[in-house]
Structure 1
Amino acid sequence: MQKQYDYIVIGAGSAGCAVANRLSADGRHTVALLEAGSRDLNPWIHVPVGYFKTMGNPSTDWCYTTEPCAGLNGRSIPWPRGKVLGGSSSINGLLYVRGQAQDFDDWANLGNEGWQWDNVLPYFKRSEDWQGEANTLRGQGGPLAVSETRLSRPVVDAWLQAAQNSGYPANKDYNGADQEGVGLFQLTAKKGRRCSSAVAYLNPARKRANLTILTDSCVEKLLFDGVRVIGVQLGSGQLKANKEVILSAGAIGSPQLLMVSGIGATEQLNPHKIEIVKELPGVGQNLQDHLQARPVFKCAASTINTEISSWFKQGLIGLEYLLKRTGPMTMAASLGAGFVKTSLSPDRPDIQFHIQPFSADSPAEGPHKFDAFTASVLQLRPQSTGHLSLVSDRFEDHPDIHPNYLATALDQQTIVAGIKIARDISQQAPLKSLVIEEYSPGPSVCGEADADILNWVRDTATTIYHPTGTCKMGNDDMAVVDAQLKVHGIKGLRVADASIMPIITSGNTNAPAIMIGEKAAAMILQEMANV
């Protein structure tokens, strides 16, 4: 291990792997990529359905837990985040969603020049190796394999047709010209195996002499010379950066590391006797996430619930996967996708559906003993924002996470409207003939009253694993980075991950995080070329 590099990238997650690959590609710059977790050797990481084994596993998951949330009737909930090469792209549900073009135009309209849709589309395309039908909006030949779903289930097909019969258009490619409509999810997978950011960006780059990948290397603090970051403190010593440090530790890790290093709000740092290097009150604020409510419907069609109900059936499924790389083990977190408008958002979709041919009260308890499907509902652009707060000056101590779900009337009304849509679709042909009953919430728990539906959401809803926004990009008093992703008032430091999103994107956040990594690296290299 050297002690000095041109660039140090902290965090080998969705964005960090992309940054490290691109900065080291031409061989001119030495790059160290630091990952607090271990190598991605666990075989369950690479099996698409393996997220059941890796989420909640301390060897691959940071295992964060939120503080009690008033919007969830005082409940605390788990917040999985990847702690392994590939970060959360190694343990997520593999779903690939860019978001809406308006999301990025909204970022630009907040003063973030260069982040409108036309600017970011080339980086989405550059990252992709799209396995579907070629078109001008999709990328081919990039490092990240993106494929169409290879699995089908009758109940999901029936849901998609019922949604169309309810007036929602079919959409074969929600990552194309328009997100609105219903169809099948696209996956970060190829030939039945997960394509994490580590698989996509690190595996081809491992033999580069100028790239050093260090696992089990948790950064404790940033090192400064005045207001310039000059390196990092590890438990094993110090590494120095000749040019820049790029912080890609995610929406929890990045703001926490900034704060324990002396960048943040005075009221956060002073109680822990952290010397203030730069007062930035927005660090750890603007926390946004997608909250999912999970209506479940018993059905008269075969679902994963009963298809894995015995060791014999599981053995056959495992054998099919080993021999053919097909079958239920290739399944992502959801099959059917829906991006629909409620009356609260007539211009663009504000609800996303994840249609799953299985159901469970909790992953730990396993699937129900009866056939059922889940019509997960989430609001795409929640107004509610939360925050992180330090509990000590040590990075090893998880910060308190305050998600502040359902804090606004719009958020409450939108999630209720989404559940009503789910119920309506369940009563449309051909799905209606397959639905035996609504299992959850069920008419005995809540009828059509908005207050009852909302209370059920508060009692049962959980994260769908999309924390963002805690080092937001912008020029206002609460912004942490500028449009070049440079930390305000600090030299030699950028943040490149989902924490820089000023507004959460409309959908799953892995694809935008990778795009952010691609764009960050391009901006750094362009700046160096102009020196």
Structure 2
Amino acid sequence: MTADALGSFDYIIVGGGTAGCVLANRLSASGRHSVLLLEAGGEASSPWIAIPAGFYKLLTNPRYNWNFQTEPEPGTMNRAIAIPRGKGLGGSTLINGMIWVQGQPGDYDGWAQQGCPGWRFDDVAPIFRRLERYVGPAGATPRGRHGPVDIREVVERPAIGTAFLEAAAAAGHPLNPDYNGARQDGFGYYQVNQRGGRRADAARAYLAPARTRPNLTVRTGVHVTGLTLENGRATGVTARQDGRTVAFKATSEVILAAGAIQSPQILELSGIGDPAILGPLGLPVRVAAPGVGANYLDHFCTRLNWRVTRPMTLNEDTRGLRLVGHVLRYLLARRGILTFGTGLGYGFVRTRADLDGPDAQFFFMHASYANAAERKLEPHPGMTLGVTQLRPTSRGSVHARSPDPLDAPAIRPNMLDAEEDQRCMIDAMRLGRTVMEQAPLTPFRAYEMSPGDACQTDADWLAFARETGQTIYHSAGTCRMGTDPGAVVDHRLRVRGVENLRVIDASVMPAMVSGNTQAAVFMIAEKGSDMVLADARTR
């Protein structure tokens, strides 16, 4: 099919999500480069986006979520598990829980040890400071105060949240005022990307200030279907727009920023991938790259629920006249329950004393879900402790299902495959129950709903995890960087075997970071833009 040529640009960025917004801003800032940002979704126009609690309304909305699902796998009882990915300018920052976690220094030092020089924590810490505008007390570790992304602790402190922190202290855990500071261990209130009670998404923080620049072109409703390759170089992209096939030319670089699900799919559809995957699909092998789509990472999470003794949780506050009152409070003061995301109180814990840092994370919320995947709240008062392993060792895959670019890829996370992951989850859930059983929570705790008192043995806990666990939407690793034959990009995020092509998004992570991934993706995009511009100066 002949494609309509729609222009030539120095840089083409595929994907208008977190990384794409950062790249569009940074690459166009000097005015010297023409930049095209292509996004398959649309403008972020819903009023629910700016309201932090609005993610409840958007999490399954096909306008703002690709609504991917995993393939059924025996390790999770053959369930299809939701993998939400943001759609539209701003990507997943439009619908996520806004929790801001940089991770542990050892995460990034580990990347460097795996053949990625320049990615040690000492290398990336200044970038974290550059991108954040942190509102909080000065600590031993400096935080960024003047960046584009607003970061602050959750502003509402209900009594049940205070009781949770007191329970953690009673169980012997330290309280920590800044888990993004000198150490991650401990409990406290989550930090979120918000300003004035409003979501601080990537489009608002990075893209909006850049859209008046004449050298930046932003096109929505453009679904990239493949890369144009000529003599081993990426020279542009083809796409579907308004039912027709279109083409755009790149004179300097094409940058994939479509995320850990769709970046590998685009590579495979372009003939860059594992011949054993491409061949059966009838896709020509342009570049043999066996690591494309492999090394899938995500955080698996179980949710322990308790009935609360009286109606003081979000389950009741989000209904009837109570909700009306909270809406009015938000409209007048930008305060109240509409400022909540997915976490109120946090915990970073070590399940073994000999570990160098925490290996599990807790998410406390004074709410309980009738359907956790869709965040539908129960009608009666409840509270939840989410439990996740920080650095899973199980590895899955994402691969094109067919040659049709509009066909969702096959996602096989392979959760809980490794014995170490099983052990960590079991021990972390036990620790979580111990915290919730402490005296400070006694006035609020009626009884444990799930898994319930009958869950006692390791086998019981593992069965509970397999039967009920979900991911927490931190897809990563499927175009990982490194030097070994399975690495897809090098340490400068250049696709191996193809000139003028990079991947800059969560898919380049060689291993998972210790916590929610959005902060790391912002950092990767900032660092990636530095690399692109540095290469432009020497070209």
Q: Please point out which of 379, 390, 409 is paired with 1:399.
A: 409
**Deviation of 1:434 (Å):** 2.2
Cross-structure match for 2:42: 38
Instruction: Give ranges in structure 1 of 5+ residues lacking alignment.
Output: none
Does 1:272 find its partner at 2:276?
no
What percent identity do the matched residue pairs reach? 43
Aligned mates of 1:365, 1:322 — CA distance in 2: 23
- The answer on whether the counterparts of 1:344 and 1:414 sit within 8 Å (CA) in structure 2 is no
Cross-structure match for 2:154: 149
Cross-structure match for 1:492: 500
Cross-structure match for 1:413: 423
Does 1:530 find its partner at 2:534?
no
**Deviation of 1:131 (Å):** 1.6
**Deviation of 1:394 (Å):** 2.0
Q: How many equivalent pairs are there? A: 528
- The answer on whether the counterparts of 1:129 and 1:143 sit within 8 Å (CA) in structure 2 is yes
Structure 1 residues 334-379: Cα deviation after superposition (integer angstroms, max 9, x where no partner)? 1101100002762210010010110012055832222211000000
The letter for the 1-side match of 2:296 is L
Does 1:478 find its partner at 2:486?
yes
* Consecutive aligned runs of 4 or more in structure 1 exceeding 6 Å deviation: none
**Deviation of 1:390 (Å):** 1.9
Give the 3-state SS of the residue equivalent to 1:45 in structure 2. coil
- The answer on whether the counterparts of 2:343 and 2:363 sit within 8 Å (CA) in structure 1 is yes
Q: Please point out which of 425, 428, 432 is paired with 1:422.
A: 432
**Deviation of 1:306 (Å):** 1.7
Structure 1 residues 445-467: Cα deviation after superposition (integer angstroms, max 9, x where no partner)? x2x10101110111101011101
Does 1:103 find its partner at 2:123?
no
- The answer on whether the counterparts of 2:22 and 2:525 sit within 8 Å (CA) in structure 1 is yes
Cross-structure match for 1:184: 189
The letter for the 1-side match of 2:94 is S
Cross-structure match for 1:114: 118
Instruction: Give ranges in structure 2 of 5+ residues lacking alignment.
Output: none
Structure 1 residues 236-289: Cα deviation after superposition (integer angstroms, max 9, x where no partner)? 411101100110000001000000001000011111221211000000000010
Does 1:130 find its partner at 2:140?
no
Structure 1 residues 75-107: Cα deviation after superposition (integer angstroms, max 9, x where no partner)? 111110001111011110011111111000000
Aligned mates of 1:5, 1:68 — CA distance in 2: 42
Cross-structure match for 2:57: 53
The letter for the 1-side match of 2:172 is G
Cross-structure match for 2:164: 159
Aligned mates of 1:395, 1:155 — CA distance in 2: 48
Does 1:358 find its partner at 2:361?
no
Aligned mates of 2:162, 2:420 — CA distance in 1: 31
Aligned mates of 2:367, 2:437 — CA distance in 1: 19
Give the 3-state SS of the residue equivalent to 2:125 in structure 1. helix
Aligned mates of 2:375, 2:458 — CA distance in 1: 30
Q: Please point out which of 242, 247, 250 is paired with 2:256.
A: 247
Aligned mates of 1:498, 1:350 — CA distance in 2: 20
Does 1:380 find its partner at 2:380?
no
- The answer on whether the counterparts of 2:6 and 2:247 sit within 8 Å (CA) in structure 1 is no
Aligned mates of 1:134, 1:34 — CA distance in 2: 39
Cross-structure match for 2:510: 502
- The answer on whether the counterparts of 2:264 and 2:399 sit within 8 Å (CA) in structure 1 is no
Cross-structure match for 2:326: 317
Does 1:4 find its partner at 2:8?
yes
- Point out the more displaced range, 432-441 or 207-216: 432-441
Give the 3-state SS of the residue equivalent to 1:494 in structure 2. strand
Give the 3-state SS of the residue equivalent to 1:361 in structure 2. strand
- The answer on whether the counterparts of 1:153 and 1:303 sit within 8 Å (CA) in structure 2 is no
Does 1:303 find its partner at 2:313?
yes
- The answer on whether the counterparts of 1:56 and 1:80 sit within 8 Å (CA) in structure 2 is yes
Aligned mates of 1:430, 1:207 — CA distance in 2: 53
Aligned mates of 1:517, 1:507 — CA distance in 2: 18
Give the 3-state SS of the residue equivalent to 1:233 in structure 2. strand
Aligned mates of 1:327, 1:284 — CA distance in 2: 42
Cross-structure match for 1:291: 300
Cross-structure match for 1:75: 79
Does 1:442 find its partner at 2:452?
yes
Aligned mates of 2:272, 2:47 — CA distance in 1: 38
**Deviation of 1:111 (Å):** 1.1
The letter for the 2-side match of 1:516 is I
**Deviation of 1:525 (Å):** 0.9
Does 1:368 find its partner at 2:378?
yes
Aligned mates of 2:429, 2:110 — CA distance in 1: 27
